[in-house]
């Protein structure tokens, strides 16, 4: 029996050299209010492939998108709706689900143009020049209007009742016999009781669901052209009956683990403690407010949400009252005591609690108390367990929690929010009264809730709007708004079950495995005129145009691509040692046919024209990109092959693979080097005191152990007044450079009145003149004599990067020679210069020494 799902079979087809994956039609991109993510485009291509089949009505009339919570299934659903309307002529759609809350949310997403989560183009849906409307109906018209999509939104329970107990003007099986119908099933796992329990006795609830499954099957079979498209994140494919049902229907699979690895989610961190509920609630409250303060410090607009999760309604209602009482009773004195205790208890500098409590030590606690009492009140709290909770008003509040004018900061719930709850700014889930149940069923439910809370909160930082994590490998405080914290007990049996549940749900849980290294500017340096009044000069940028990107050369893409080809590679297990075929080699040039090139382009979504045009604005068509001598028209691929091998011996698939490697190389270069600004020869001064500050580096301990050659360590610099920080956080090559400067310090001080070395920790960026490539030199040497102030750029460079970064050295060494450099300074007493790379290579180190002496020590 095959265990391969439909997705895998299509994937294999797409990897075949003779199979061309379909394009996503332009009208889908044009009619959305959001950009499709790469995996969403991929999902649509798989779906379109099935619908273009001659047997689509038989083999692919029932399909399932098995996609992670938070991956945007509703956007994929909306795209399939447009595709089936345009390409297959479908006008009648029934969206059904198991919850009224999801109905209201989906109604907003698909029809409410004023909703911030409206999916379609706010200027209207237009296909082939014709405006298309979506009309919400209870029953479908006998004579449908042109350019109209009829959409019925209902629960599966109500749909079943409508069909089995017909009413006037309602749906009937007979009325649906004569129309083509598309069934869109969200949270589709709810309609599988019959299949799921194929050989078991069903309980009353499952018997009811069994009739739902039969209802859906009956509707699908009424008409050959009908479609049933299901969407879910939580189908249990370990259930043999379910797997057999869906094996040929899972058109696309994108699980939560892959979703998280691709960076589209928050990181998930378990906070384990043995504290009582009151302490847990107060700490969670302070952590949420700390998160908001950090966001404000960086200019990010954020209103973080806390979810207090209980296992019983009575417990949740009681916790709600307790929480509000804690807020009423909090005073500056009580808050100070909590902070003092926290600083004592949490002494590990890597702990989020340590960071939080030390942050509050610096805050005005009177203001903090005022903020807490203003932001956490009865009016800003929702209890999802109260009778009549899912009113229209509450449904609107739940669906707009990210809005800054939505007052809600805290939610108390048992289970009502486990499905269909779209909230991006949930950052803390706090378990209350945890002794009630630690069963696997409980932790499975909590794992699903954690998956929902892990949805990424997109925010603007440094003028960049990102939808993926940016600070995984950074010491930035902003890492906290890319993290979901799950607050729970430190109890072995429970944690063991929760870990199993998280693993089953493909949720990655991160542990803190970082060493925190901090460098502080010396107090003596802060008092100097150099620091208080000195400036660092950075060249100004101007916007680029299409004329700046007219060839591969502008992206640093070489049109001559050299690679080694091996017919076989042996890799030893554990040691990782590899043996390649053939030690005697020769070089051949790969003939590149237009067919192979087109196929390789089609298999890489980066080269879809709408995307490529963004990065290569000078092209007007794919034909131009393929044929133009400035781009693909003049590429040459040289292969180093075993001696005696010829190009004719390469199969079409091998040739395709080689061309794909070139395109991957080119893509990386294009992405890296395409910028919207280019450098100019005009340098502008920025105050050192505003640009340079203390900094922290968090080093991943695991990676350090693996990559021994790149170990970063601290070097005590407290007694060296020429280095502005109390310690240097550097790798071996950078440490060697500091020792080199120290060696020449006496000679420098004979010539200059002031000598300061500044470690540039991602603060000073310069961009090549008339180009878009920028970089941050690792060190700035500040020198001052009676006539001039000198700003010297110094860049240590390892052997592995020296050739790749040669352009940086050319840029640095040209600064002193160019006659077009303009320095915007109050006085004509500033000079800029750059040195050759500092290297561990003996010959190159000698060249650096000569360059250093000639430029800095020679009169």
Among 76-90, 172-186, 352-366, 693-707, top mean pLDDT goes to 76-90
Q: What is the pLDDT of residue 453?
A: 82
Mean pLDDT of 374-392: 79
Q: What is the pLDDT of residue 86?
A: 96
Top-confidence residue, 695 or 252: 252
Tell me how far apart the alpha carbons of residues 783 and 857 are, in angstroms, rounded to a whole number: 11
Please count the CA atoms within 13 angstroms of the CA of 751 that sit on its side-chain side.
16
Q: What is the pLDDT of residue 825?
A: 85
Tell me how far apart the alpha carbons of residues 187 and 190 are, in angstroms, rounded to a whole number: 7
Q: What is the pLDDT of residue 707?
A: 36
- The answer, yes or no, to whether residue 435 has pLDDT greater than 70, is no
- The answer, yes or no, to whether residue 157 has pLDDT greater than 90, is no
Q: What is the pLDDT of residue 279?
A: 87
Residue 130 backbone phi and psi in degrees, to 5: -105, 130
Work out the pLDDT band at 703, boundaries 50, 70, 90: very low
Q: What is the pLDDT of residue 584?
A: 63
Q: How distant, in Å, are the alpha carbons of 108, 292, 299, 400, 735 from that of 405?
A: 18, 15, 17, 9, 51
Q: What is the pLDDT of residue 512?
A: 45
Which of these ranges, 230-234, 298-302, 452-456, 511-515, has the smallest mean pLDDT? 511-515
Tell me how far apart the alpha carbons of residues 635 and 13 are, in angstroms, rounded to a whole number: 28
Mean pLDDT of 620-635: 95
Work out the pLDDT band at 164, boundaries 50, 70, 90: confident
Work out the pLDDT band at 187, boundaries 50, 70, 90: confident
DSSP code of 455? B
Q: What is the pLDDT of residues 598-622, one digit of tens each?
A: 999 999 999 999 899 989 999 999 9
Helix or strand run (H / E) with residue 336:
helix 332-345
The answer to whether the beta carbons of residues 139 and 175 sit under 8 Å apart is yes
**What mean pLDDT value characterizes the chain?**
85
Q: What is the pLDDT of residues 573-590, one digit of tens each?
A: 233 333 343 456 788 999
- The answer, yes or no, to whether residue 29 has pLDDT greater than 60, is yes
Q: What is the pLDDT of residue 43?
A: 95
Q: How is residue 506 written in tokens?
A: 């493909």
DSSP code of 144? P
Provide, rounded to the nearest whole percent, the portion of the chain with pLDDT above 70.
86
Work out the pLDDT band at 419, boundaries 50, 70, 90: low
Torsion of CA 322, 326, 328, 329, to 10 degrees: 130
Which of these ranges, 51-55, 159-163, 361-365, 677-681, has the smallest mean pLDDT? 159-163
Q: What is the pLDDT of residue 359?
A: 95
Which of these ranges, 84-93, 102-111, 630-639, has the smallest mean pLDDT? 102-111
- The answer, yes or no, to whether residue 632 has pLDDT greater than 50, is yes
Work out the pLDDT band at 472, boundaries 50, 70, 90: confident
Q: What is the pLDDT of residues 200-239, one digit of tens each?
A: 454 555 455 457 778 888 889 888 999 999 998 877 777 7
The answer to whether the beta carbons of residues 140 and 152 sit under 8 Å apart is yes
Top-confidence residue, 71 or 756: 756
Q: What is the pLDDT of residue 240?
A: 79
Mean pLDDT of 705-712: 47
Tell me how far apart the alpha carbons of residues 675 and 184 are, in angstroms, rounded to a whole number: 42
Tell me how far apart the alpha carbons of residues 313 and 415 are, in angstroms, rounded to a whole number: 9
Work out the pLDDT band at 274, boundaries 50, 70, 90: low
Q: Which contacts (CB < 8 Å, 24+ apart) does range 142-147 have?
A: 144/91, 144/92
Work out the pLDDT band at 437, boundaries 50, 70, 90: low
Q: What is the pLDDT of residue 637?
A: 94
Provide, rounded to the nearest whole percent, the portion of the chain with pLDDT above 90.
49
Among 162-166, 366-370, 709-713, top mean pLDDT goes to 366-370
Work out the pLDDT band at 296, boundaries 50, 70, 90: very high
Global confidence as pTM? 0.56
Among 75-89, 180-194, 460-474, top mean pLDDT goes to 75-89
List domains and CATH numbers for the chain.
6-254 (3.40.50.300), 267-512 (3.40.50.300), 519-543+678-856 (no CATH), 546-673 (no CATH)
Mean pLDDT of 784-791: 94
Q: What is the pLDDT of residues 651-674, one digit of tens each?
A: 888 899 899 999 999 999 998 888
Which of these ranges, 433-447, 627-641, 681-695, has the smallest mean pLDDT? 433-447
- The answer, yes or no, to whether residue 792 has pLDDT greater than 90, is yes
Top-confidence residue, 646 or 635: 635
Mean pLDDT of 37-47: 94
Which of these ranges, 61-65, 466-470, 566-570, has the smallest mean pLDDT? 566-570
Mark out the alpha helices in 89-236 (DSSP H runs): 100-111, 156-164, 173-176, 193-196, 204-221
Closest CA to 755 of 538, 534, 523: 534
Q: Rounded to the nearest 10 degrees, what angle do helices 594-602 and 652-673 cross at?
A: 60
Tell me how far apart the alpha carbons of residues 77 and 67 are, in angstroms, rounded to a whole number: 11
Tell me how far apart the alpha carbons of residues 470 and 478 are, in angstroms, rounded to a whole number: 9
- The answer, yes or no, to whether residue 251 has pLDDT greater than 70, is yes
Work out the pLDDT band at 856, boundaries 50, 70, 90: very high
- The answer, yes or no, to whether residue 679 has pLDDT greater than 70, is yes
């Amino acid at each position: 029996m095959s265990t391969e799902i439909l997705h895998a079979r299509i994937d294999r087809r797409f990897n075949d050299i003779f199979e061309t994956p379909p394009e996503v039609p332009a009208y889908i991109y044009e009619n959305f209010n959001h950009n499709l993510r790469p995996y969403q485009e991929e999902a649509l291509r798989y779906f379109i492939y099935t619908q273009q089949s001659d047997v689509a009505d038989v083999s692919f009339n029932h399909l399932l998108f098995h996609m992670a919570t938070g991956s945007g299934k509703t956007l994929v659903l909306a795209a399939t709706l447009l595709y089936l309307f345009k390409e297959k002529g479908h006008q009648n759609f029934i969206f059904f689900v198991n919850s009224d809350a999801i109905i209201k949310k989906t109604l907003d997403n698909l029809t409410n143009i004023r909703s911030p989560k409206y999916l379609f183009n706010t200027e209207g849906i237009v296909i082939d020049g014709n405006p298309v409307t979506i009309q919400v109906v209870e029953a479908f018209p006998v004579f449908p209007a042109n350019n109209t999509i009829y959409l019925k939104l209902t629960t599966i329970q109500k749909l079943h009742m409508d069909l089995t107990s017909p009413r006037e003007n309602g749906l009937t099986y007979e009325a649906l016999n004569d129309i083509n119908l598309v069934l869109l099933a969200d949270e589709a796992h709810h309609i599988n009781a019959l299949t799921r329990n194929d050989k078991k006795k069903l309980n009353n609830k499952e018997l009811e669901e069994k009739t739902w499954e039969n209802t859906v099957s009956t509707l699908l079979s009424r008409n050959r052209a009908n479609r049933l498209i299901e969407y879910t994140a939580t189908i249990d494919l370990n259930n043999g009956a379910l797997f057999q049902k869906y094996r040929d229907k899972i058109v696309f699979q994108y699980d939560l683990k892959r979703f998280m690895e691709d960076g589209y989610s928050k990181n998930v961190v378990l906070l384990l403690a043995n504290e009582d509920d009151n302490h847990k609630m107060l700490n969670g409250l302070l952590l949420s407010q700390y998160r908001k303060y950090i966001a404000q410090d960086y200019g990010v607009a954020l209103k973080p949400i806390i979810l207090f999760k209980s296992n019983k309604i009575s417990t949740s209602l009681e916790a709600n009252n307790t929480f509000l009482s804690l807020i009423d009773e909090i005073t500056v004195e009580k808050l100070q005591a909590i902070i003092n205790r926290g600083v004592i208890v949490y002494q590990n500098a890597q702990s989020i609690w340590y960071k939080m409590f030390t942050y509050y030590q610096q805050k005005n606690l009177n203001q903090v108390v005022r903020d807490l009492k203003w932001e956490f009140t009865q009016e800003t709290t929702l209890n999802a367990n109260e009778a009549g909770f899912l009113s229209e008003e509450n449904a609107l509040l739940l669906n707009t929690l990210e809005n800054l004018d939505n007052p809600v900061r805290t939610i108390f719930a048992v289970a009502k929010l486990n499905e269909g709850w779209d909230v991006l700014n949930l950052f803390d889930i706090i378990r209350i009264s945890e002794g009630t149940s630690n069963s696997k069923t409980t932790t499975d439910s909590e794992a699903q809730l954690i998956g929902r809370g892990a949805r990424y909160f997109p925010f603007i930082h440094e003028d960049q709007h990102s939808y993926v994590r940016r600070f995984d490998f950074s010491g930035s405080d902003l890492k906290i708004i890319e993290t979901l914290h799950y607050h729970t007990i430190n109890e072995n049996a429970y944690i063991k079950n929760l870990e199993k549940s998280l693993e089953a749900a493909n949720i990655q849980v991160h542990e803190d495995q970082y060493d925190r290294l901090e460098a502080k500017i010396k107090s003596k340096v802060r008092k100097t005129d150099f620091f208080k009044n000195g400036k660092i000069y950075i060249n100004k940028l101007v916007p680029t145009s299409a004329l700046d990107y007219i060839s591969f050369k502008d992206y640093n893409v070489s049109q001559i691509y050299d690679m080694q080809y091996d017919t076989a590679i042996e890799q030893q297990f554990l040691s990782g040692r590899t043996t390649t075929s053939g030690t005697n080699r020769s070089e051949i040039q790969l003939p590149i046919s237009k067919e192979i090139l087109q196929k390789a382009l089609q298999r890489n979504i980066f080269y879809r024209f709408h995307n490529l045009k963004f990065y290569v604005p000078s092209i007007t068509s794919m034909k131009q990109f393929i044929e133009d001598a400035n781009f693909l028209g003049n590429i040459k691929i040289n292969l180093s092959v075993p001696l005696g091998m010829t190009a004719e011996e390469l199969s079409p698939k091998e040739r395709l693979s080689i061309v794909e490697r070139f395109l991957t190389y080119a893509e990386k270069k294009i992405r890296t080097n395409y910028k919207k600004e280019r450098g100019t020869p005009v340098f502008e001064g920025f105050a050192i005191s505003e640009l340079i500050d203390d900094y922290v580096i968090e080093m991943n301990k695991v990676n350090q152990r693996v990559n021994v050659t790149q170990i970063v360590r601290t070097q005590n610099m407290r007694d060296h007044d020429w280095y502005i920080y109390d310690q240097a956080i550097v790798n071996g090559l950078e440490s060697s450079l500091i020792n080199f400067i120290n060696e020449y310090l006496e000679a420098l001080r004979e010539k200059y009145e002031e000598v300061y070395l500044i470690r540039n920790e991602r603060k000073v960026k310069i961009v090549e003149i008339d180009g878009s490539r920028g970089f941050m030199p690792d060190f700035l040497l500040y020198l001052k004599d009676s006539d001039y102030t000198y700003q010297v750029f110094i860049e240590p460079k390892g052997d592995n990067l020296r050739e790749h970064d040669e352009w940086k050295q050319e840029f640095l060494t040209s600064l002193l020679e160019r006659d077009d450099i303009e320095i915007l300074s109050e006085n004509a007493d500033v000079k800029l210069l750059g040195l050759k790379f500092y290297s561990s290579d003996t010959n190159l180190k000698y060249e650096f020494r000569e360059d250093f002496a000639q430029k800095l020590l020679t009169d």
